Structure 1
């Protein structure tokens, strides 16, 4: 699908028009405010030519009352404008962040494999902020400024046509410069968002991996990497500042010429009697009312350009195809029995570089299938396919005879439990991490899960028990403790299909014995795929698949494979000697 570039027209259609009532209220307020603002320059003419010339104190009183009233109206309208539209803009930013975050989480695992988490955070949190210049006061001020400039221009023509035509020349030149500058600046803003995302992504990784950095004495190396990123941001900002500075300087120069010309023209006209002093004062003030919005519009134009650049990047994410939006995903699983079958499945992370070749096997309902083999043989890829994190390049993976590529994934994954080798825990308490699998679980269910996973074996020693805070990624716990929390989480989820990826690899011998007992209870009656490093833990598996270089080298139960004295026999006897 061809990507549609976000411009003011598409932004108006998708963002502004749905909120037209508020925008129209904002326009009404700013028009009233700007009309009230014109009272002062218009009143100055009557002050000079009529009130002072005729020494009319009564008229002076009403003139002052009129100007004060206009100032009160102008201030009130400005307050309401900011209150209504700025608040709405912030609300819209929150809505967009929520929408983008939902979209990101709906994308396939392969998307995240090629992205930095910090960069995605930047895109969710920062790219949408510019929308405040579309719904907030920015766009309305742009329109209000245009309205003020047009009204001021009409009034200027009424005072002096030659003088007004003269000042239009430098203003027109400035307008042309501004339009070209905006066209030049937009790609810079878009690239800045990209650089910001990359630098924030690396910074997030640095902070998360601070123990590795200090362990290898690599602080200087990371400082240099961040310094390069900071300089890239600086170079980008410098380019945009140069362009905006050129616009500002052009405005100062051209408007300076216009002001000098006005001095000469108007001075000569007053001497000749073709222009009154009041007309001159009124003209000067009205010129300010016309020029100020034009200069302001150049700044607002930069903000809107930056907003559109951010929305461009947001739109790129929103246009990506979610997992459940892939063609053919329409079948919703009501209930499942749990039989998983691989039919001639091949898979490649990169085109023409297959890591699995024609894999076929059946994991029957309630059975335990173990995957063993050397590192990089394809075990985790098979598990990823079974978990629907990946899609086969060819062949099919089925659940109870239904092709997984046609299933609405949420209906499958609600029956799925996963315990990974490097299990992820969220910052918070032990209880919160276990409840993640089932937020509405009862206290009895929680207690059963933590006892089955032998979590109480270490939480009973903690002062706060299950309420103990574990730090980011569970950094305050040992590997074995983190793994037991992950297993308790899977037990609480009560899945029909269970995938264990080296689930006992981080445990000491004592912990492994405890966990092995809990896993036996957990696996009972569930279809389980186990990636095993310690082969002693899978002796009771219904079938064992020996994976080598993306192929099934051997298949059978423990006794059958030992009797064959093949690859599994070699692996098992080697570990037994160790």
Structure 2
């Protein structure tokens, strides 16, 4: 059961049904451009990375010493019964092992430092980027998808450094030093030992593609899982689920998605095990060939027993890196699936950004003007058509009309939550696109019908508008919103925790705190979108009285369905089907036999009980 839609136009969310892949798509994931893009995240830590490479190189050399020393123990110390030499060789081997272990600890620390900091940087970059995305992105993308990309996708790449780059370098050093050593010892046995290496590479490509598919599908299934959790266990979703008794249906849906994700993870795990089993079989062939041919050479007097034993031990050091490096292709494929999802978000255009020459704005005492504004959420479906009006400085402009007419859309264009398609919106005669977003939005206070409060104290929610506000300023704002006395009656007063989304407060109480928060910001422009809809009659009356003072010298736009709240507005705009069909004062509009008069009659005409 699906409740959401993909992020249309913004890269898309996880789909439902079978995913399809082709080889061309898979090849494109490990392009030179992708590798270059990934490498940029390591540049700030190049010193630590260089130190890791040095440690790996020294460790690779030290790793050769124990097998070589064993050869000397078997071929010299033991046959000669030289206890002193035996002791020196054993201590040297032990010393090499201890130093190698200490270097391994240092390497693990550096690996962790680099990988964790890269994840830290990438999460910061992702959060900052998502902050710049337009409102339209969040109205279309699935919530669980955003959380998955911010958490498990980015956290999943922290092993890229230690499991791919470091492993590759380590295995390369080990492979090079071991191969040189083996050729010096006996080039014939070395050629025989590397005879089976091509067998490791053959299944790797197919396994890499298969692993990539599974990793991508698994992450998408995690996104669906997070979406269900976010939608059904949030306050609003939880209440909806309870009221419509959908617990069983939602549990069944979650159980199905959870089972699919678990099966995908099992398939990932087992695919790797089967792959390694096949490769392990191939690795057993080499030592057997060495024992066979090496034994022949020993019988012929060309080799010693210590040489054969050391050769087999070093051959393990040769096969190990080869196995790791063939598996590296699989790891890269798996990592590419995660990087692709992350870079998909990074590549999304924020759309609404500051122009290079953007200026700071002071909107105090300046008119807001819409000049032939057109806007559509989707192509060929206009939401606003040829909107033109002026909200004079220091006046109250009301927008009324049926639901879905476009009133909220008009007000959302002023702080540039959406970008208009054509026309212009000006403040003081200057296009709002010529101002910085920060300065523009700092001049606007918005109170919406759907009040949002953080799960903190009342005081913390109020200070979100103005962190520098004093106790007196906070209380004055709350008195103006007629919520101060209620707060003081609470056991904890302003330190009362409101709960998730303010669940511990009534709708009217939340709304008045929201109004107090905007008043504390004290911007020159105030937008109220059905801000009094949750208030009782008495509270609405007091708010209206307070607004006469609070909106003095402020430019205000008020959306209202209850016409009683905007009768005293300086200008009333009647919006219908995305267009302004009437404009005037309350009295002038009543004289017309139009939409406003029809709305007024429906609200205020006497109700006759039959």
TM-score (normalised: structure 2): 0.89
Question: For the structure 1 residues 299 and 481, does the alpha-carbon distance in structure 2 shift closer, same or farther, using more than 3 Å as the test?
Answer: farther
- What is the distance in 2 between the residues matched to 1:517 and 1:311? 56
Which piece of structure 1 moves more, 196-205 or 514-523? Answer: 514-523
Tell me, what secondary structure is at the counterpart of 1:506? coil
- What is the distance in 2 between the residues matched to 1:31 and 1:132? 23
CA drift at 1:379: 1.0
- What is the distance in 2 between the residues matched to 1:82 and 1:158? 32
Match of 1:41 among 57, 67, 70: 67
CA contact (8 A) 1:16 1:135 kept: no
The corresponding residue for 1:335 is 362
CA contact (8 A) 1:369 1:529 kept: yes
- What is the distance in 2 between the residues matched to 1:57 and 1:102? 67
2:525 matched to 1:497? yes
- What is the distance in 2 between the residues matched to 1:17 and 1:293? 26
Question: For the structure 1 residues 398 and 158, does the alpha-carbon distance in structure 2 shift closer, same or farther, using more than 3 Å as the test?
Answer: same
Deviations 1:456-483 (A, max 9, x none): 2321221111111111111111111111
The corresponding residue for 1:206 is 232
Deviations 1:440-499 (A, max 9, x none): 222222121121112223212211111111111111111111111111110011111111
The corresponding residue for 1:151 is 177
Which piece of structure 1 moves more, 308-317 or 75-84? Answer: 308-317
2:469 matched to 1:445? no
CA contact (8 A) 1:419 1:486 kept: yes
The corresponding residue for 2:125 is 99
Question: For the structure 1 residues 202 and 6, does the alpha-carbon distance in structure 2 shift closer, same or farther, using more than 3 Å as the test?
Answer: farther
2:187 matched to 1:170? no
- What is the distance in 2 between the residues matched to 1:198 and 1:404? 39
The corresponding residue for 1:288 is 316
Aligned residues: 575
CA drift at 1:299: 5.2
CA contact (8 A) 1:266 1:280 kept: yes
CA drift at 1:300: 5.2
2:413 matched to 1:375? no
Tell me, what secondary structure is at the counterpart of 1:395? strand
Deviations 1:404-438 (A, max 9, x none): 23432222101111111001111111111111111
Which piece of structure 1 moves more, 328-337 or 363-372? Answer: 328-337
Question: For the structure 1 residues 71 and 334, does the alpha-carbon distance in structure 2 shift closer, same or farther, using more than 3 Å as the test?
Answer: same
Deviations 1:214-268 (A, max 9, x none): 1111012212222332244235434533542342122122112223333322333
TM-score (normalised: structure 1): 0.94
CA drift at 1:123: 1.0
List alignment gaps of at least 5 residues for structure 1.
none
Match of 1:397 among 425, 429, 432: 425
The corresponding residue for 1:359 is 387
Tell me, what secondary structure is at the counterpart of 2:89? helix
The corresponding residue for 2:513 is 485
Deviations 1:49-103 (A, max 9, x none): 0110111111112112211211121111111111223123212211211111011
Question: For the structure 1 residues 517 and 275, does the alpha-carbon distance in structure 2 shift closer, same or farther, using more than 3 Å as the test?
Answer: farther
CA drift at 1:529: 1.0
CA contact (8 A) 1:341 1:397 kept: yes
CA contact (8 A) 1:329 1:408 kept: no
CA contact (8 A) 1:93 1:128 kept: yes
- What is the distance in 1 between the residues matched to 2:289 and 2:542? 92
Question: For the structure 1 residues 293 and 514, does the alpha-carbon distance in structure 2 shift closer, same or farther, using more than 3 Å as the test?
Answer: farther
Tell me, what secondary structure is at the counterpart of 1:336? coil
- Greater share of residues in helix: 1
Which piece of structure 1 moves more, 310-319 or 58-67? Answer: 310-319
CA contact (8 A) 2:368 2:425 kept: yes
Question: For the structure 1 residues 207 and 329, does the alpha-carbon distance in structure 2 shift closer, same or farther, using more than 3 Å as the test?
Answer: farther
Superposition CA RMSD, Å:
2.2
The corresponding residue for 1:181 is 207
Tell me, what secondary structure is at the counterpart of 2:424? strand
Deviations 1:529-552 (A, max 9, x none): 111011101011111111111121
Match of 1:573 among 596, 601, 606: 601
CA drift at 1:301: 4.9
CA contact (8 A) 2:232 2:238 kept: yes
2:95 matched to 1:60? no
Question: For the structure 1 residues 157 and 284, does the alpha-carbon distance in structure 2 shift closer, same or farther, using more than 3 Å as the test?
Answer: same
Question: For the structure 1 residues 515 and 59, does the alpha-carbon distance in structure 2 shift closer, same or farther, using more than 3 Å as the test?
Answer: same
- What is the distance in 2 between the residues matched to 1:5 and 1:202? 29
Question: For the structure 1 residues 521 and 91, does the alpha-carbon distance in structure 2 shift closer, same or farther, using more than 3 Å as the test?
Answer: farther
- What is the distance in 2 between the residues matched to 1:12 and 1:333? 36
The corresponding residue for 2:4 is none
CA contact (8 A) 1:396 1:403 kept: yes
- What is the distance in 2 between the residues matched to 1:444 and 1:175? 74
CA contact (8 A) 1:30 1:141 kept: no
CA contact (8 A) 2:352 2:419 kept: no
CA drift at 1:18: 3.7
